[in-house]
Chain A
Amino acid sequence: MQPFLDDIATLAKPSLYNIYFAAASIPLGFVLAVALALVRASRSRIGSSLAGAYIYAFRGSPLFIQLFMFYSLALSLNISVWKPNGLDWLVLHPLFLGTFVLALNTTAYSAEIFYGALKTLPRGEIEAARAFGLSRFQTFRAVVWPNMLRLAWPAYTNEVVFLFHATTLVYFTLPVINEQKDLMNKAGELFERDYNAFLHFSVAALYFLAISLAIFFLSNLVYRRLMHHLGPAEAKPRVRFAPKYLR
């Protein structure tokens, strides 16, 4: 029991790195994804196909390779671009670059989810809003946005959990700075000391499970608010702990 508790204590700080990467990239990805989904659904031919291509490329390739590629790309631009502008300390820092690539990645997946939701919005509601004399922006605020969010929320929750899992890849690809190690890094390091794969990896897995459950719990609170308009008589839908295959 003691080694188990020791592991829980040792891995507490590393888990913060995974949480940081997820917490930093998800809001950014969310904003970008909504914008991208709107462009994708817009009437602009060029905008729509560019957004589509972006989504396709980032959903169609592994994050592992995206991380490698963007790091070496950023590195090769260092002398010509980042250094002269004094940005090199930021751009090449794993805490920034890792977040950046994760955000690019989740933008594509989330945009696909939001785009799917936009496509299934009932046309009648939008037309009704326009007929009532609401401006484009007002229609978006009052009709499109809340409905899109409601429709997309369960799938988006899955995406958030998956992105949280994907944070493990950052330190497999980018240099490790000082003692900045995440759960997988640290679990691997512990394993190399005593070869007890069962202990260390189980504790790391436990952290991931616990945090995934926490994400589902929080997401459910948000979902309940989103579905607030449904009266008490109606069965309220819930976001269940069921990471799906949507990614």
Chain B
Amino acid sequence: MAGERESSVPPAHRDSDNGFWKTALSLGEPADRSHEGAQCGVRPLDWLIDIFGEDLGFWLGYLGNGKHLAWYASFRFTILAAIFGALIGLGFGLGGAGLLRARFRPLRIAGLAYANIVRGVPDVLFFLFFPLAFEQLVEWLISTQVCSPEAVAARAGSWPPCMEANWFLSTTEYLILASVSLGIVYGAFTANVINGAMNAVPKGQLEAARAYGFSRNQVFWRFQVRQMWIYALPGLSNVWMLLIKSTSLLSLLQIPDIVLWAERLGAPNFVPTAGLVHPDWRWRYYLVLFVFYIILTFLSERGFAWLRERVGRGVVAEG
């Protein structure tokens, strides 16, 4: 691990003496960069440079450097958190709706408490609180098993109770926890949507099914639940839109997501040894993310429209 750093010093450093990176300060003068542009480029792009000239080559090289590649790769965190957050949210939503519709009063109250408390506080608060609380809970559970009383006493007032009980969270664990907290937050909204949709299924259809001799259970699963999805779709699409916007908060949990990399890439750099010298470019990177989310919203809308048409097929609208 240690020795590998030496060799991985990027070409940028070796170039730093010939003035290439310094000229990048005055980006308005492409002539200054002359043929050196090719040096920063990725080899396979040379043919593009031949066609479009040095400027394009320079920018392609810049946009293709390791830091940018890391940024592009970090989009996976956003997508993964959205997908798993949605799946977990659907689970919590179904569970929550079950509670809300329970015959047993305490369960109903639990459902109401879940739905209203989660929706009554900001998603950010929950997003930060849940992973911390969960980590502490796990560490506490471990500590009851592995910590000696002396070790606990020695570390009084700090966390975890003893170092053996420490649970190391890497990006993967944080991503899982982030997905779960997204799921819990948006599950509360989903529960409401599903509850409403269950009520929206026309009573007449259910009664007709009963009259045809289907059992209560069959009516519930084959008619009410199946029909429910049609009525729930508009609400679910709303929740999904909220959820994808919340994925921008991943960086608050130390996940190196698109927002964190945008900040790193855009931050002004004055020191040639640290990479390309450039002024503050942050708003350009944030603009890219701004557009990215709008496109994501657009695609989601189209997806839900398609879905609605599909599930709506063969359903006779009331009235």
Is A–B contact present in the complex under a CB 8 A cutoff?
yes
Interface residues of A (CB under 8 A from B): 56-57, 59-66, 68-69, 72-73, 75-76, 165-166, 168-169, 172, 184, 187-188, 191, 194-195, 197-198, 201, 204-205, 208-209, 212-213, 241-247
Interface residues of B (CB under 8 A from A): 116-117, 119-125, 128-129, 132-133, 136, 157-159, 189, 192-193, 235, 238-239, 241-242, 245-246, 248-249, 252, 259, 262-263, 266, 280, 282-283, 286-287, 289-290, 293-294, 296-298
Q: Can you give 22 contacting A-B residue pairs, CB < 8 Å?
A: A59-B297, A60-B296, A61-B290, A62-B246, A63-B245, A65-B290, A68-B263, A72-B286, A169-B124, A172-B252, A184-B128, A195-B136, A197-B136, A208-B121, A208-B122, A209-B120, A212-B120, A213-B120, A243-B116, A243-B120, A244-B192, A245-B189
Can you add 10 more A-B contacts, CB < 8 Å, to A60-B296, A64-B259? A61-B294, A65-B259, A65-B293, A68-B259, A76-B280, A165-B121, A166-B122, A197-B133, A213-B120, A243-B116
* Chain A residue at minimum C-beta to C-beta distance from B298: A60
> Are B124 and A61 within 8 A (Cβ)?
no
- Point out the residues of chain A lying under 8 angstroms from B297, CB to CB: 56, 59-61
- Point out the residues of chain A lying under 8 angstroms from B133, CB to CB: 197-198, 201
> Are A60 and B120 within 8 A (Cβ)?
no
> Are A57 and B193 within 8 A (Cβ)?
no
Q: How far is the CB of A77 from chain B (nearest CB, A)?
A: 9
- Point out the residues of chain A lying under 8 angstroms from B121, CB to CB: 165, 205, 208-209, 212
- Point out the residues of chain B lying under 8 angstroms from A69, CB to CB: 283, 286-287, 289-290
Cβ-defined partner of B125 (8 Å) among A59, A168, A246, A247: A168
Taking A61-B245, A65-B290, A244-B192 as contacts, is the C-beta distance between A172 and B124 under 8 angstroms?
yes
> Are B136 and A209 within 8 A (Cβ)?
no
* Chain B residue at minimum C-beta to C-beta distance from A75: B280
* Chain B residue at minimum C-beta to C-beta distance from A198: B133
> Are A184 and B280 within 8 A (Cβ)?
no
Task: Give Cα A247 to B242, complex, Å.
Answer: 7
Task: Give Cα A204 to B239, complex, Å.
Answer: 24
- Point out the residues of chain B lying under 8 angstroms from A59, CB to CB: 241, 297
Cβ-defined partner of A194 (8 Å) among B124, B157, B189, B266: B157
Taking A197-B129, A197-B136, A208-B120 as contacts, is the C-beta distance between A62 and B298 under 8 angstroms?
no
Interface of B is mostly: helix
- Point out the residues of chain B lying under 8 angstroms from A60, CB to CB: 241, 293-294, 296-298
Most buried by A among B157, B193, B241, B286: B286
- Point out the residues of chain A lying under 8 angstroms from B287, CB to CB: 69
Q: How far is the CB of A137 from chain B (nearest CB, A)?
A: 35
- Point out the residues of chain B lying under 8 angstroms from A243, CB to CB: 116, 119-120
Q: How far is the CB of A149 from chain B (nearest CB, A)?
A: 23
* Chain B residue at minimum C-beta to C-beta distance from A73: B283
- Point out the residues of chain B lying under 8 angstroms from A245, CB to CB: 189, 192-193, 235, 238-239, 242
> Are A64 and B122 within 8 A (Cβ)?
no
> Are A168 and B242 within 8 A (Cβ)?
no
- Point out the residues of chain A lying under 8 angstroms from B298, CB to CB: 60
Task: Give Cα A205 to B122, complex, Å.
Answer: 8
Task: Give Cα A56 to B248, complex, Å.
Answer: 18
* Chain A residue at minimum C-beta to C-beta distance from B157: A194
Task: Give Cα A75 to B245, complex, Å.
Answer: 24
Task: Give Cα A246 to B192, complex, Å.
Answer: 12
Task: Give Cα A66 to B283, complex, Å.
Answer: 10
* Chain B residue at minimum C-beta to C-beta distance from A69: B286
- Point out the residues of chain A lying under 8 angstroms from B259, CB to CB: 64-65, 68
> Are B125 and A201 within 8 A (Cβ)?
yes
Q: How far is the CB of B76 from chain A (nearest CB, A)?
A: 18
Q: How far is the CB of A134 from chain B (nearest CB, A)?
A: 33
Q: How far is the CB of A214 from chain B (nearest CB, A)?
A: 11
Q: How far is the CB of A61 from chain B (nearest CB, A)?
A: 4
Task: Give Cα A1 to B282, complex, Å.
Answer: 45
Task: Give Cα A247 to B136, complex, Å.
Answer: 32
- Point out the residues of chain B lying under 8 angstroms from A212, CB to CB: 120-121
Task: Give Cα A166 to B122, complex, Å.
Answer: 7
* Chain B residue at minimum C-beta to C-beta distance from A197: B132
Taking A69-B287, A73-B283 as contacts, is the C-beta distance between A57 and B238 under 8 angstroms?
no
Task: Give Cα A66 to B124, complex, Å.
Answer: 16
